[in-house]
Structure formats: structure tokens, C-alpha cells
Amino acid sequence: MVDGRMVSMTNSAVVLADAASYAAAVEEASAAAAAYYAGGESTLDDDAYDRLVRGIAVYEEEHPQDVLAASPTGKVAGGAAGGDVPHTVPMLSLDNVFSAEQFATWTASLERRIGRPVAAWSVEPKLDGLAVAARYRSGRLERLITRGDGTAGEDVSHAVGTVVGLPEQLGEPVTIEVRGEILMTNEQFEQANTVRTEHGGDPFANPRNGAAGTLRAKDRPYTVEMTFFAYGALPLPESGELTGTLAELPHSEVLRYVAGLGVHTAAETDVAPRTVTTVEQVQSRVEEIAALRASLPFGIDGIVIKADLAADQREAGSGTRAPRWAIAYKLPAVEKVTRLLGVEWNVGRTGIIAPRAVLEPVEIDGSTVSYATLHNPADITRRDLRLGDRVMVYKAGDIIPRIEAPVAHLRTGDEQPIVFPETCPQCGSEIDTSEQRWRCVRGRDCRLVASISYAAGRDQLDIEGLGATRVVQLVDAGLVTDFADLFTLEREQLLGLERMGETSTDNLLAAIETARTRPLSRVFCALGVRGTGRSMSRRIARYFASMDRIRAADVDTLQQVDGIGKEKAAGVVAELVELAPLIEKLVAARVTMVEPGATPPPEPGEEGTDAAAAVAEGETAAERPLDGMTVVVTGAMTGALEKLSRNQMNELIERAGGKSSSSVSKRTTLLVAGEKAGSKRTKAEDLGVRIAAPDEFAELIAEFLPSEV
């Protein structure tokens, strides 16, 4: 709706019905931009703003006689903001494309303009921040300026010193202007909102608004960090010999030069700028960056594609608002504003009481979002969320939607406080509120069926035939009060249950008997210790080798396990005390309490294990094929590995001495690439990581393969 008039929507733009709707849309877009660039607040989320501006552009193309001077289509991003510091060279925006077809059309137009194919393309992330120019004289940062209206910007030099990646002194005494984006990483955003709310302020709606508001803020009683990523550089009038050098360098070389001066670029991230030579390679890289979006520690809203060579850029030239040699390939929005309708309080299998937001349905990243996580009651209080709030909701890929913050400036006064439960929503028992995550005092007993079903799951004890329905039968019959009771079930007891014949009974008992022999890592995972999961359970089991040693470990000892810090270690110690009766029952039931092939660390004051002593005496301990290696598995496995789940593959890697990982990086030693390996294979090739096919990997670790494969 625009100014009370209903307008229809397409996939890419608001459709404006008449001149009055057009005028109202221009007014709304201008007001939203002005509010955002003035203090980081806007009445529209980015996607709604983009759709509105595209609708304005379509209307203007069809009705050129109606174009208003206030229209945002002829201005650079940030054009609503004033500024009194002139730019030496206009600081332009980028035009957008939204599909592979639109990108192909744009490249064809560019190549017609310069009369030849583009020699090389630079493909880099479109960072979701604010464009700034940092002026260095003789290597020292002298001034920081916003984009403003493209010809002049605002002096925000007061922010110098709070921006990570923007050094106050370069590695060389050069005079240069570095251009880039200032943003908040996800971690910086969380910290900023914590500090801001502690000082009585409203939380920022999202990282981009946080960066916009923070960059312009002066004389605050607190400071918060932001991060700078350079995307280009140009000489200043007194740059001397540097002027000609920068003018002739390819864009990719300019970025390398800037990084060499000590300025932060995206080169060390998972979405590092890459130079390619064909449109097909550009599209492939676009897809890779899009696939990584959800896992990045900062926001991106697209991919920037630039002609790399200076000659191609010169011949293409620039328009009044955007260069003709660069384009922004926009990705679907991952955050939008919607309304918080209610809060549900759900109890998990360990008794944790988790709030879930009920939202006015909104389409984000290709799916309809009606619910979002709220983490815990303390998080609700810190963010000052209220029923009826307009809230910024974030979702990307398979990530569970989350509420970033209320859009506080849109409040009407009708919003209501969220009521916290006084008793457990599941069973009515008391609630332990001593920690941030509230918990039913009955713990796992509150959700007994869920707890037992989890323990019996494929990645834990893998008890075939023990689904949730069967667990309910066992609990209702009083045959089990925890999953240790499964190992004491008798044949006659099971035969007495409805729909349990001799065959199904014998099969279930056989599966339970097999589960008794699962390694310690599986048993520990089945316990469901808070703060641990499959990979952490494997690490703990391999480090300590036996349940006795795990239970004897104190907080300091547990921190020797990779990935366990002081807070998590304390939580594990406390959980194991609580779980002591269950563990004792498992021991009595002869469930395996050791990890095959694991060598425990030496006890304090002891010489260590035989293996450790042998090494100390100069003997060589038996080497495993993956010792010291970090291995990533991707794609569909074949041959001997075809029937293994990803968790079983990770177990196999660790038994063979390696460390399993889910992402390819410089630390990766080996990538096991099955069918349709995708972007991980491409990245491994770029980094020079060794790549093995499933059959080759199976041969490498043959002695560790399970007997059933």
C-alpha cells in the first residue's frame, strides 16, 4: 500500500497504478532513504525499498513527462543525505541485475559499447554496509567521508579508530584515497546492541542500520567497533607517480596493492574477489558466493561484477549515477520487516524451555516464514521485544529464521509486553531460572519420549525399530524411565505390548543388543549433554578414551579438548553430575564405556600410557593414515562409502586419525569429493587442496571401514 492506495506487486517491482500512486511512492522512498542515511533508521526494509524504487523506475520509463525531481532513480545511493566535503572523483552507485538472463543482457550491452569482449572480470561480494572514502596523506589517515550524494559527502572522521581494517598509518607513506564499505560483522552487531541497550538505547534493527547509525554518531558515552573492506582506490591530486600507476593497474591489482599497504579487503574471506575470463565463469562464481552467504560472519546482499582492465573501464565510461563497466547482481532478500504476533514456549528433550516467535507470514529467501527463534528469555528482555512490534527477521539458506531486533521507531504505543511462563508449559512443574536458558526442574524426565527417541537415533545408539510410537508404548507401560532401561527389557515384556509379535520383538532385542556395543562416542552423544553434539562427543571420547576418565575430568582438564572453552567445560561437568545415576545404570547394563583405538592422556604424575612411553623411549607409535590431516567430505559417496551417513563418515575420519570439517579452507588437507561436489571442490582446486574420489579414499582408510560395508 502506498499512501492508502493499493498497488500490485511483481517479483521485481511495485506496480504503480497512476500518477498519484507514483508521487506517493517517490515521497515514501525519499523519506525512507532520508531517515536511513540520517541515522540508520528507515520505515522500509531493503527489499521493500528496492521494489518500490524499481516500480518508480518502470513508471518513469512509461511516463517520462511525470518524472519528479525528488525521484530516487537519478541519484546515487545515499543521495538523500547532504555533505559538505567534495569528492575528488564522483562516488557513484551501481546498477542492478536480478537474474542470469539480466546479467547476460548487461554484458552483451557492455561489449557492444566497447566494441570487443571484456578481457577479464572481477567477481567480489557486495557487502551490506555503507560506502566511504578514506583519504591518506603521506600514509596517514587524514579524513573519512561518506558517499553522500555522490559529489560531496559528510565528514565522519570522528569514527577513525573504531573501524577494524582501516589503519591510521599505511605500510608506505603514500597519498591515496581508499574506497570501501563500513559494516558490522554479526559479532560486532550483537556486541553493539548489548552495549547500546545497557546505555538505555533502542537496539539496532540489523547490522547495516547499526553501522549507519554508529558511523554518524558523535559524543556517545560508549564506542562500538565496525569493520572496513576496501573495494578500490584512486590517487589524490598530489599523489605524484602513484597517479599514473593506479590509473593503469587492473582492478584486481589495485586491491592487491591496497591490501599490501595494510588495508583490509575481502581477500582472506570465503568470498574473496576472483578474476575470471568468461561470462560462464562469472555465473559459476556468483552461485558459489550465493551458496556461502548464510555461513559468512558478515552480511552481503549480492555480488559485484566489474570489468577488470583499466582500458575496458575507460572505454565503457560512466553515467550520472553508475559506472557502465560494473554491475551489482542482487541476491534475494534474507531479511524483512514483519509483525510479532505471539510467543510460544516449547520444551526440548533436555527440559530446556525455548521461546519461539509467531510472525505475520512473510516471504524471505524463497520461502514463507511464520516462526523465528528467540533464543531465551534474557534475549527477549535485552532486545526489548513486545507483542505487536514490527520486527526485522533474518533468514538465509537453511538457517533457522531469527529476529534481529524490533524496529522501535515504528512503534505505535499499542504494543504489549511478552508474558514469561511461571511454570513448565509441558508438565506444570517449577522452572529453574538460574541460567539464561530456562529449564524445567524435571529436566529430561519432562520430555522422556523425546529424550529416549534421541538416544535411540541413527547417529547415537542406532536402535532400528525403536521409533517414537514404540517409545511411547514402552513409557506408557512403565517399562522404561530412561534409555538405560532399554537394555534390561525382556522378551515377555515386549510380547505383551500391542502390535509386538515374535519377529518384531526379536528384531528389536537384537538391535538393542547391538546398541550395547556402540563406541563410547555414540553413548556419550546419546546422553544429550547440553553444549555437545555428534562431533564434540567424538572429540571428548577420543581424548579421554573411557567414561571413567571423562567423569573424573575437571573444568581445566576438559578444556584440553579442541573446541571446549571454560563456560562449556563447566556446563559439561555439571551435566555429568546430574547424569550420574543414568550412567551407572548403563555401566550395570554392560553398555560399552570405552572408545576403540583411542589413547587416553597420561594421568598427572604418571609416565603415561604404553604408547606414550614408547614414543618417549624413541619407538615409533603406529601411525594411522589420516594422522594430522583435516578432511572435508562433500557430494554423494559411491562404492564402499555409499551407505554411510555423513556422521558415520566423520566417525571414520577420526578413527583413522584425522579431523573432520564441514568447510574447505587453507587448513584443509584432503577433500573427499563425490558426485555433484559443487563449490567445495572448486574452492579446494583454487587452494591447491588434495582431492580424492570416494573409491580412492576408501582404499586409503580400508582397515578402519566398518565390517558391514
pLDDT digits (tens, 9 = 90+) for 527-576: 999 888 888 999 899 899 999 999 999 999 999 998 898 888 998 999 99
Cell of 359: 510472525
Give burial (CB, 10 Å; 0-12/13-18/19+) of 607.
exposed
pLDDT value for 180: 97
Residue 388 makes CB contacts below 8 A (sequence gap 6+) with 339, 340, 341, 412, 414, 415, 416
pLDDT over threshold 70, residue 616: no
Q: Mean pLDDT throughout 428-443?
A: 92
In this predicted structure, which of 60-74, 341-355, 482-496, 587-601 has the lowest mean pLDDT? 60-74
Q: Give the pLDDT band of residue 684 (cuts 50, 70, 90).
A: confident
Tell which wins on pLDDT, 605 or 352: 352
In this predicted structure, which of 34-43, 262-271, 504-513, 522-531 has the lowest mean pLDDT? 34-43
CA distances to 214, 217, 593 from 39, in Å: 8, 8, 59
Q: Which H helix or E strand runs over 70? A: none
pLDDT value for 708: 60
In this predicted structure, which of 35-39, 62-66, 684-688 has the lowest mean pLDDT? 35-39
pLDDT digits (tens, 9 = 90+) for 294-305: 889 999 999 999
Question: Is 671 in contact with 680 (CB distance < 8 Å)?
Answer: yes
pLDDT value for 642: 86
Q: Give the pLDDT band of residue 512 (cuts 50, 70, 90).
A: very high
pLDDT over threshold 80, residue 664: yes
Q: Give the pLDDT band of residue 397 (cuts 50, 70, 90).
A: low
pLDDT value for 366: 74
pLDDT value for 603: 64
pLDDT value for 41: 61
Strand partners, 121: 276, 307
Q: Which long-range contacts (CB under 8 A, 24 or more apart) does 25-31 make?
A: 25/52, 25/55, 25/56, 25/59, 26/56, 26/68, 26/70, 26/71, 26/72, 27/3, 27/70, 28/2, 28/3, 28/52, 29/53, 29/56, 29/72, 30/70, 30/72, 30/80
pLDDT value for 611: 43
Q: How many CB atoms lie within 10 A of CB 344?
A: 12
Q: Helix (H, G, I), strand (E, B), or coil: what is residue 665? A: coil
Cα separation, 595 vs 654, whole angstroms? 11
Which residue has cell 525455548? 354
HEC string of 585-645?
HHHHCCCCCECCCCCCCCCCCCCCCHHHHHHHCCCCCCCCCCCCCEEEEECECCHHHCCCC
Q: Mean pLDDT throughout 387-396?
A: 89
Cell of 97: 541485475
In this predicted structure, which of 63-67, 221-225, 643-647 has the lowest mean pLDDT? 63-67
Calculate the average pLDDT of the chain: 87
Amino acid found at 677: A
In this predicted structure, which of 112-126, 133-147, 157-171, 384-398 has the lowest mean pLDDT? 384-398
Q: Which H helix or E strand runs over 400? A: none
Q: Helix (H, G, I), strand (E, B), or coil: what is residue 388? A: coil
Pairing of strands 226-235, 163-164: parallel
User: Please, what are the domains in the chain?
Assistant: 8-74 (1.10.287.610), 85-330 (3.30.470.30), 335-432 (2.40.50.140), 443-515 (1.10.150.20), 520-616 (1.10.150.20), 630-704 (3.40.50.10190)
Q: Mean pLDDT throughout 103-130?
A: 95
pLDDT value for 43: 61
pLDDT over threshold 90, residue 243: no
Q: Give the pLDDT band of residue 610 (cuts 50, 70, 90).
A: very low
pLDDT over threshold 90, residue 132: yes
Question: Is 507 in contact with 517 (CB distance < 8 Å)?
Answer: no
Tell which wins on pLDDT, 607 or 327: 327
Cα separation, 219 vs 594, whole angstroms? 60
pLDDT over threshold 80, residue 312: yes
pLDDT over threshold 50, residue 671: yes
Amino acid found at 25: A
pLDDT value for 74: 63
Q: Where are the beta strands (DSSP E) in 225-295?
A: 226-235, 274-276
pLDDT value for 66: 78
Q: Give the pLDDT band of residue 3 (cuts 50, 70, 90).
A: very low
Residue 168 makes CB contacts below 8 A (sequence gap 6+) with 140, 141, 160, 161
Active site residues: 126
Q: Is the pTM of this model over 0.85?
A: no
Which residue has cell 553515467? 319
Task: Evaluate the CA torsion angle 501, 504, 508, 510 in order and state its sign.
Answer: positive
Pairing of strands 8-9, 14-15: antiparallel
Q: Give the pLDDT band of residue 47 (cuts 50, 70, 90).
A: confident
pLDDT value for 75: 61
What value does the CA radius of gyration of the chain take, rounded to a whole number of Å?
A: 30
In this predicted structure, which of 198-207, 328-337, 472-481 has the lowest mean pLDDT? 198-207
Q: Helix (H, G, I), strand (E, B), or coil: what is residue 619? A: coil
Task: Evaluate the CA torsion angle 496, 501, 506, 508 in order and state its sign.
Answer: negative
Distance of CA 428 to the CA centre of its chain: 36
Cell of 518: 556402540
Cα separation, 57 vs 45, whole angstroms? 19
pLDDT over threshold 90, residue 238: no
pLDDT digits (tens, 9 = 90+) for 633-651: 999 898 889 888 888 888 8
pLDDT value for 24: 78
Q: How many CB atoms lie within 10 A of CB 362?
A: 20
Closest CA to 141 of 162, 163, 160, 165: 160
Pairing of strands 367-373, 386-387: unpaired
Q: Helix (H, G, I), strand (E, B), or coil: what is residue 151? A: coil
